[in-house]
Amino acid sequence: MLAVAAAVACAVADYGQDAVDPPEDARAEDAAPVCDSGVCLRTCVGLGLAGGSCFDGECLCVSGDGPAPDGAGDGSVDAPEPDDGGGADTPPPVCDPATCDSACRSIGFPAGNCVAGDCLCGGGADADADADDVAAEDVFVDDGSVDDGTPDDGPIDDGPIDDGAADEAPRDDGAADDAPADETTVEDAPVDDGTTDDAGSTWGVPVCDTTGGTLSDRGLFGGATRLVRTISVPALGNGRAVRLEITINSRRFLIASLPFDDIQATLQSPGGVNRKFWYHFDGDTSGMLGDYTFFTPWVLPVWWDAAVGGTWTLTLQDDAFSGAGTTLVSWCVVPLDPAAYASTDTGARLAACDTTSRSISDYACASDGTDCEHPLTVQMQVTNLVRASGAPSARIETSHGDASQLRITLIGADGSESTLWNRTAGPLPATIPISTMSGAWMTGRFQLTITDMAAGTSGTLTRFCIEAN
């Protein structure tokens, strides 16, 4: 069955025209367009038909079971083919006036209308006056995914990249909290930029464990003893420093106050990073009896730009027999607001000094030949949030007359032990590298020990400094 879907103006001169000829300028401007086979084919397909081609200057469209125009090539339309025995042929599509008019205009005619079920393109009026000129490529069928700005272009979805066009569907940017609308910013998930909007929690609020516990003293036989406690910090985002507040009672054996020099303590972050913040330090002395106290608080920056939300683990370990256990009363983790450290220069120069004069006792044995060494121990807290770019150094100044009699050791803020000087000949150098702390955070407590290993000379420690960068 043949369905003529579009025709050039000469084939429809009797459609919509006056009885008199149009003016000369109208005939000149509204001359029938040249039939283009590609345009014709796309127009027919756009109308829902099987295809189309140019025939005698006209654009002829055919339905799926009709004949092709002029199959014999004799200049006339071929007759309908007989029924193929499979039942009634599929009827041609019903002509839609709006679609027909749009199709005719798209290939250069001023108008189109449905006549006897066919779409006929008419002319005769001034095309410039009756309709806007349409670019030749603007056929009814959409030209694909490339938007050339012509009227034939339908909505073109450009994929997952949001260009602001109206055709964009909601886009999932991969965040768990996506709203239906396309995300321009991502609302803070539990681990991200460290702002207070993540989980409704607030920076600077202590999260504490007050259950307490006792770390048993290591016996004369057997291994070290341990006490492990955990707390859960709510999700806040990424932090740069935490403060550890810990309360441990002073230790006494009979009437003697015991130092904490057999204790080591570590704090583990939710990410599994361990920070040894106490390693055989004596502790501070206070009170009338000169009791040793466990130093607190600690500002620990080793979890720089890491999640603070999750489980934190405190581990206390007793490494030697002392005669008394250790009582943990409580401990708290305080996530510090990362905004306060936004401009912290982690490679800044550090020069933390203690200039208190302290005596270095001479090597002298008791009458029974024991207790010959009398070490001087000095502890200094570094609060600067500084990381060493290389190996930091210690500056040790004394009035001792013979440095070859001295042994000097250091426990760093990271718990590392170093022998800085061991009865070496010559005067002490201006600075001594701390190779065990190369690239380490300098924040924490340092413990310097100076021991005179030979009799005959004593002196004074006048300056102790930790320097970096």
pLDDT digits (tens, 9 = 90+) for 49-68: 667 777 666 666 665 544 44
Which single residue is written with the structure tokens 């600690």?
Answer: 298
The pTM of this model reads 0.53
> Is-contact 443 383, C-beta < 8 A?
yes
Are residues 327 and 391 located together in one domain of the fold?
no
pLDDT confidence band for 363 (50 / 70 / 90): very high
CATH number for 450: 2.60.120.260
> Given this model, what pLDDT does residue 266 score?
94
Looking at the predicted structure, is the pLDDT value of residue 21 above 60?
no
pLDDT band at 309 (very low <50, low <70, confident <90, very high): very high
At 96-137, the pLDDT tens digits run: 788 877 877 777 777 777 776 677 766 533 333 333 433 333
Residue 103 CA to its chain's centroid (Å): 52
Pick the last residue of a domain from 298, 322, 341.
341
Among 69, 70, 66, which Cα is nearest to 89's? 66
- SS3 state at 10: helix
Instruction: Determine the Cα–Cα distance for residues 16 and 18; give it in Å rounded to an integer.
Output: 7
- pLDDT score of 399 more than 50: yes
- The answer to whether 390 and 349 are in contact (CB under 8 A) is no
Residue 247 and residue 267 in one domain = yes
| Weakest-pLDDT range from 21-25, 146-150, 176-180 | 21-25
* Same domain membership, residue 117 and residue 39: yes
Token reading at 436: 């065990």
Q: Which residues of 197-223 are buried (b: 16+ CB within 10 A; e: fewer)?
A: ebeebebeeebebeeeeebebbeeeee
Q: What is the pLDDT of residue 139?
A: 39
Q: Is residue 54 part of a domain?
A: yes
- CA dist list (Å): 65 to 49, 333, 449: 10, 81, 103
Considering its fold, how many domains does the chain have in total? 3
Same domain? For 409 and 359 the reply is yes
In a 10 Å sphere around its CB, with 0-12 CB exposed, 13-18 middle and 19+ buried, how is residue 327 labelled? Answer: middle
- In degrees, rounded to 5, the angle at the alpha carbon of residue 165 between the alpha carbons of residues 107 and 181 is 140
How many C-beta atoms surround the C-beta of residue 410 within 10 A? Answer: 23
Strand, coil or helix: 244: strand
Mean pLDDT lowest for which of 175-184, 271-280, 286-295, 298-307?
A: 175-184
Where is the domain boundary, 341, 359, 388? 341
Two structure tokens written together for 324: 């008394």
Within this chain, do residues 321 and 211 fall inside the same structural domain, yes or no? Answer: yes
Domain check: are 355 and 335 in the same one? Answer: no
Same domain, yes or no: 70 and 119: yes
Structural domain that includes position 62:
9-130
Same domain for 309 and 357, yes or no, is no
Is 293 among the domain residues? yes
Does residue 286 share a domain with residue 356? no
Same structural domain, 246 and 269: yes
> Is residue 335 a part of any domain in this protein?
yes
332 plus 408 within the same structural domain: no
322 with 411, same domain: the answer is no
Domain assignment present for residue 48? The answer is yes
Angle formed by the axes of helices 97-106 and 37-46, to 10°? 160
Which of 75, 105, 130 terminates a domain? The answer is 130
Asked if 253 and 324 count as a contact pair (C-beta separation under 8 A), the reply is yes
Give the mean pLDDT of the chain: 75
Residue owning tokens 């694909």: 144
d(CA 302, CA 296): 17
Residue 102 lies in a domain: yes
Lowest-pLDDT choice from 59-63, 75-79, 130-134, 438-442: 130-134
Residue with tokens 């426990």: 411
Could you say which DSSP state residue 187 is in?
A: -
Q: What is the pLDDT of residues 371-384, one digit of tens each?
A: 899 999 998 989 88
Q: How far apart are CA 259 and CA 280, in angstroms?
A: 9
